């Protein structure tokens, strides 16, 4: 089957899945809509962690151990900054620093985040289109016992340790999806929209909090498939399960499916979760969801596409 595929993605888990998709599809058919709720300004630089994790992953540059930043990185800038008593809690490697400097320079010159992302993708040789969800700022904030924290304060400085009582996506209400995002989501030849295995609250939540994106998804007749980021009650990486518990949600694949219930047609879960009770309107497909090797990523991508194609044909998956 041919046709374009749109995937919504956050950082490491989503990016691994996107890489799998890019290897089983013609990359020109693939559009990634990236979360920008984690973006912030640091040391005077515009940082877009999820966009960069996706770009580095697709360019083969990501550090596989850390899951962020570049492989074979050097840290001379950080060491020099530390010596001077500067802020070093958020680590910027030397090669990564160049990307933030260039993004900041282009934004200051009047380019949009979409323009800059397209430029960086081109320079890094990335095939699929990578689109920020919006060019308007959206900032994820979390309410903890110590009050509201900016996303990176919570995530990096506090290592996701404080319990989360509430999440908000500042700016999402009034943020406009970019024209490219709207065009991708309303493409009449769309084969599937896939919600990647990213944190539903921190990575996918901000994207879906933009009213124009939610409406475009609801108006699209192509199948919408989500891939679970949780296996046997544990997040593949990061604080998703912990946060869901703290917010009184079911911290399981079933809990993720319930959160997406009004949006998705099918849900891909790991075989260990296949027997859970999912909302009856959602078709469930079991496929190994742990992505250790490149083959794992390709197989999970193929399973998500098969779920979408099965729906399009009206077949049972
Ligand atoms: N995550 C960390 O845990 N510590 C860091 O020092 C750190 C630096 C960093 C620099 C650039 C970048 O693009 C990402 C970076 N991340 C770091 C990852 C990032 O904070 C989160 O993984 C994402 O925002 C969540 O998807």
pLDDT in tens, 273-305: 999 999 999 999 999 999 999 999 999 999 999
In the prediction, which pLDDT does 237 show? 82
Nearest Cα to 256, choosing from 270, 238, 237, 240? Answer: 240
Cβ count near 173 (within 10 Å): 11
Q: Is the CB of 68 under 6 A from ligand 1?
A: yes
Q: Report which ligand 1 atom has the smallest distance to the Cα of 35.
A: 26
Which sign does the torsion angle of CA 260, 265, 267, 273 carry?
A: positive
What digits encode the pLDDT tens for the residues 137-163? 999 999 999 999 999 999 999 999 999
**In angstroms, rounded to a whole number, what is the distance separating the alpha carbons of residues 132 and 36?**
6
User: The tokens 């917010």 sit on which residue?
Assistant: 247
**Alpha helix (H) residue ranges in the chain:** 12-24, 49-59, 76-83, 94-108, 113-123, 151-152, 179-185, 205-208, 211-219, 240-246, 253-259, 294-312
Q: Which protein residue has the closest C-alpha to ligand 1 atom 14?
A: 49
Cα dist from 29 to 5, 187, 245, 252, whole Å: 6, 11, 37, 32
Q: Whose CA is nearest to atom 1 of ligand 1?
A: 156
CA distance 179 to 127: 20
CA–centroid distance, 64 to ligand 1, in Å, is 13
CA 251 to centroid of ligand 1, rounded, Å: 24
pLDDT digits (tens, 9 = 90+) for 233-243: 988 888 999 99
Q: Are 265 and 259 in contact (CB under 8 A)?
A: no
- CA 156 – ligand 1 centroid, Å: 7
Provide the 3-class DSSP secondary structure of residue 64. coil
Q: What pLDDT is stored for residue 238 in this prediction?
A: 85
Prediction pTM value: 0.96
Q: Give the model's pLDDT for residue 317.
A: 41
Spans in the chain with pLDDT lower than 50: 315-317
Q: What pLDDT, on a 0 to 100 scale, did the predictor assign at position 2? A: 60
Q: What is the number of the ligand 1 atom nearest to the C-alpha of 10?
A: 26
Which residue has the CA at smallest separation from atom 19 of ligand 1?
49
CA angle 64, 67, 71 (to 5 degrees): 50
User: Is the shortest distance between the CB of 156 and ligand 1 below 6 Å?
Assistant: yes
Measured by CA distance, the residue closest to atom 12 of ligand 1 is: 49
Q: Which of 44, 39, 30, 46 is nearest to 11 (CA)?
A: 39
């Amino acid at each position: 089957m041919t046709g374009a595929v749109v995937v919504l993605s956050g950082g490491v888990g989503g990016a691994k899945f996107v890489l799998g998709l890019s290897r089983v599809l013609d990359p020109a058919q693939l559009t990634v809509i990236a979360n920008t709720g984690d973006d912030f300004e640091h040391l005077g630089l515009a940082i877009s962690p999820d966009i960069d994790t996706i770009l580095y992953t697709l360019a083969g540059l990501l550090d596989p151990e850390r899951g962020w930043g570049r492989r074979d990185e050097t840290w001379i800038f950080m060491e020099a900054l530390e010596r001077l008593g500067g802020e070093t809690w958020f680590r910027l490697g030397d090669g990564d620093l160049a990307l933030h400097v260039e993004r900041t320079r282009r934004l200051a010159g009047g380019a949009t985040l979409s323009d800059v992302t397209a430029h960086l993708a081109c320079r890094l040789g990335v095939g699929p289109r990578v689109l920020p969800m919006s060019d308007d700022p959206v900032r994820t904030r979390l309410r903890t016992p110590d009050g509201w924290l900016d996303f990176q304060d919570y995530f990096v400085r506090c290592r996701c340790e404080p319990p989360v009582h509430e999440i908000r996506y500042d700016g999402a209400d009034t943020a406009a999806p970019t024209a490219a995002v709207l065009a991708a989501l309303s493409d009449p030849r769309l084969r599937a929209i896939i919600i990647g295995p990213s944190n539903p609250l921190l990575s996918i939540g901000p994207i879906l909090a933009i009213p124009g994106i939610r409406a475009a998804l609801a108006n699209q007749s192509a199948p919408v498939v989500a891939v679970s980021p949780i296996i046997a009650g544990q997040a593949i990486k990061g604080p998703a399960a912990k946060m869901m518990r703290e917010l009184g949600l079911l911290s399981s694949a079933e809990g993720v499916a319930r959160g997406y219930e009004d949006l998705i047609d099918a849900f891909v879960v790991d075989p260990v979760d296949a027997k859970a009770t999912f909302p009856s309107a959602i078709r469930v497909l079991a496929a190994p969801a742990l992505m250790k090797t490149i083959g794992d990523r390709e197989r999970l991508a193929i399973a998500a596409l098969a779920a979408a194609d099965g729906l399009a044909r009206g077949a049972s998956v």
